[in-house]
Structure 1
Amino acid sequence: MSDRMDGATERLEGLLRRLVGRGPIVQAVVAVESGDRAFRWAGAEGLTAAGRHVTAETPFFIASMDKLYNATIALMLSEGGRLDLDEPITAFLPSTITRGLHRYRGEDLSGRITVRHLLTHTSGLADWLEDYPKGGPSLIEQILAEGDKRLTLEEIVAHVRDHLRPHFPPQDLAGGHPRVRYSDTNYLLVVAIIEAVTGEPLHEVHRRLFHEPLGLRQTGFAGAEARPAPDLMVLRAGGEPLAIPRLIESVRGIYSSAGDMIAFMRALMGGELFRRPETLPTMLGGWHRFGFPRDRGALRAPGWPIEYGTGVMRFRLPRLFSPMAPAPSVLGHTGSTGCWLFYCPELDMFLAGSVDEVTAGAVPFRTVPRILKILREA
């Protein structure tokens, strides 16, 4: 390793130490790997649920990064002719789920929502977890205040239908500038469609398509794995342990390690997961930028300057914040618990990490540009 890469390692270690010492963050895993594997670095701080030191192999809750995995499955099913992304969701889900789900200005527009709308966050559907009903707290605030609970898809859909309002009609994706609004409801429905099309529970689909072919030995679903549960990072809220296993199981929550996530991302960006060469460019095309938050529910969701394709974020620090040396863009996804998985084409680098803290959703967007700066200068 060159002296400059030695210096990069020292700077990455310093970044990790500063990250853990900031605010409520008491733990972190950060990993970096070059495309040719000539440079690999991973560091970790904190204690696991069993009181052991967190390592680079310690699994953590990947939160919304599962959207990247599930969008990949949807595209794989589309390649095989089993799922038409432009079919309405009513073709795959029962009317008990879809009826009245998107009622906008007195009209039920649920039948206009396609699978592609869900994958690109252009459906306009309210976010079941973060959006606020009139005069009350969001569902995540209720759970944090009242304690863990298990929810069925029917219960979640009923909450969206009866207590929340859509933000806009399903968008015309042939137009130039469709509106985009991040919503966990979209991908909850994607999961239901995947299970309906395959006839398998989601964890079996992941095992068949990802875990076994890619050797993802530290990746699994909460409450759905036959093997013994691994020693995990502690999910926290404000620095204190947060035990919500029922909710995480309800949404088919995934645990994974930084190394396993990079292995998945390497296969995805290398075109190994798709049969057709045009599928990956389709996934990484059609970018639309999120707007500025206009209500309380949008404050914790991804917003400007993040762009969204099909299950993939594209993020680049605006030129205003880096005028002398424009930051390179990264492709991937983040989660609301302060976790990230990105690939930087310009530097040919994979980046993964987590602080497993539910108040740290913005941390990846501050941390990743600093990692890129270190790598570029090396």
Structure 2
Amino acid sequence: MALALQDGRPTDHLAAGEALRYGAGPVLLPAGKRVAVRPDSIFDLASLTKVYTAILALQQVDKGRIDLDEPVVRHLPGFTGAGKSAVTLAMLLAHTSGLPVGAKVTGYATMAERWRAVLTTPLVPGAVPGRTFRYSSVGLMVVGRLVEKLTGQPLDRALRSGLTLPLGLRHTGFNPTTWLGTADGAELLVATDARSSRGLLRGVVHDDVANRLGGVAGHAGIFSTAEEVAVVGQMLLDGGTYRGQRILAPSTADRMLRNANAGLPAVDPERPVRTSDHGLGVALNQPWFMGRLAAPTTFGHTGFTGTSLLVDPRRRTVLVLLTNRAHPNWSWANPDPVRVAVANTFA
């Protein structure tokens, strides 16, 4: 699924392929049981969720409930461990906290224990907060909990009140089977893994940690359509506003989209060519997925399931690419060459 906006107007919207092709096993389904991708198909956004969580956190900065540069532990007393008292919200959003990529939540019987394990995840050995870019899903899990603390709402409700309702997004949210009718789900939901221990995943978050956290977490779990992802990109491109709805203060949106990590080294074993260029919740100037659209002001994010959002302010272009590379098996395809090819085509 590819969707491009130019100055807020759609110029291209292509839906191709199948939303459901395999059953659990995986087993190739007969043609009559497969489901085609539609322009309004709903995808598991995976780590694109981080952009939404960042926006919700920055709204709390606008409300004066937290400062970007104050220690997170002041608001989340459970965020404990050596060196973590220096970690700020800005560091979590820019991935310079020193937290590792993932958290271990298996082996805990209750949700409270799992979240305690997330919040007490230690820093990478030798890490000093603010010194090095290390992509961390744990950091955005913590931001999600922080949003809950500051808003007094579960993250899924905070998303609804802070973002989807003001923007008029009807098909964006966590755990879509709870807000989609049975018939709509069968037509709209795009499947991911078909060979997991959980069986076929369709309308259920692909990320195992997010799943163990009830499908609602700051790093993964949001589902949406290409059109509604593009609305979020357009809102950021337009300085935090969309069709008269102010989502972020102009100065906050500006800081979100500026490089917070100038001069810092980057550590990313999965992508050695990655630089530290990152705003507060969005990647900046990353040719490995932006291709020839990469530039110091170009921002966006990717998701493990094969999703990506790319915004080029020079061209006033928003480009959304949603794929189900994880169906039936995430290891069968690398989405980065496709991301680059699509970006290069638009460049």
Q: Which TM class, normalised by the smaller chain length?
A: 0.7 to 0.9
Q: Residue 44 of structure 1: SS of its match in structure 2?
A: coil
- Please name the residue that 1:304 is paired with: 274
Deviation at 1:336, TM superposition (A): 1.4
Q: Does 1:216 align with 2:169?
A: yes
Identity %: 26
Of the three residues 240, 254, 257, the one matched with 1:284 is 257
2:181 to 192, 204, 228: 228
Consecutive unaligned residues of structure 2, counting only runs of 5 or more, are 22-32, 206-210
Provide, for residues 163-209 of structure 1, a one-character-per-residue CA deviation record: whole Å limited to 9, x for no partner: 884451212xxxxxx31101111000000010001101111111112
Query: What is the alpha-carbon distance in structure 1 between the residues aligned to residue 19 and residue 118 of structure 2?
Result: 36
Does residue 339 of the first structure (1) align with residue 322 of the second (2)? no
Q: How many aligned positions are there?
A: 308
What is the alpha-carbon distance in structure 1 between the residues aligned to residue 112 and residue 135 of structure 2?
19
- Could you tell me how far 1:155 is from its partner in structure 2? 2.2
Residue among 313, 323, 326 paired with 2:283: 313
Quick one: which of 7, 16, 19 aligns to 1:44?
A: 16
Q: Match for 2:86 among 112, 125, 142?
A: 112
Contact 2:50 2:281 in 1 (8 A): yes
Counterparts of 1:350 and 1:152, CA distance in 2: 37
Q: For residue 286 of structure 1, what is the amino acid of its counterpart?
A: N
Indicate the residue corresponding to 2:337 in structure 1.
366
Structure 1 residues 297-326: Cα deviation after superposition (integer angstroms, max 9, x where no partner):
x42x786146211101113438xx98xxx6
Aligned-residue Cα RMSD (Å) equals 3.4
Provide the secondary structure at the position in 2 that maps to 1:279: helix
Distance 1:34 1:151, change over 3 A: farther
Q: CA deviation at 1:42?
A: 2.2
Contact 2:91 2:97 (8 Å CA) reproduced = yes
| Correspondence list, 1:34-183, <5 A | 34-37=6-9, 39-48=11-20, 51-94=34-77, 97-100=78-81, 108-129=82-103, 152=111, 154-155=113-114, 157-158=116-117, 161=120, 165-166=124-125, 168-171=127-130, 178-183=131-136
Shift of 1:160: 7.7
> Residues 118 and 138 of structure 2 are in contact (CA less than 8 Å); yes or no, is this contact kept in structure 1?
no
2:229 maps to 261
CA distance in 2, matches of 1:165, 1:361: 30
Of 214, 217, 220, the residue aligned with 1:249 is 214
Letter in 1 for 2:212: L
Q: CA–CA distance in 2 between the matches of 1:38 and 1:76?
A: 28
Give the Å deviation of 1:251.
Answer: 4.1
Structure 1 pair 275–307 and aligned structure 2 pair: CA distance change class (3 A): closer
- SS in structure 2 opposite 1:41? strand
Which stretch shifts more, 354-363 or 226-235? 354-363
**Residues 150 and 249, structure 1, Cα contact 8 Å, conserved in 2:** no
- 1:156/1:127 CA distance change after superposition, 3 Å: farther
Per the normalisation by structure 2, the TM-score is 0.76
Structure 1 stretches of 4+ with a deviation exceeding 6 A read 237-240
Q: Secondary structure at the match of 2:338?
A: helix
Equivalent position amino acid for 1:99 in 2? T
Matched ranges for 1:4-15 at <5 A: none
Task: Tell whether 2:148 aligns with 1:195.
Answer: yes
- In the alignment, structure 1 segments of 5+ residues that lack a partner are 1-28, 101-107, 130-138, 144-148, 172-177
The aligned amino acid for 1:128 is: G
Structure 2 Cα separation of the partners of residues 251 and 237 of structure 1: 21
Q: What is the rounded CA distance, in whole Å, between the counterparts of 1:302 and 1:206 in structure 2?
A: 33
CA contact (8 A) 2:278 2:284 kept: yes
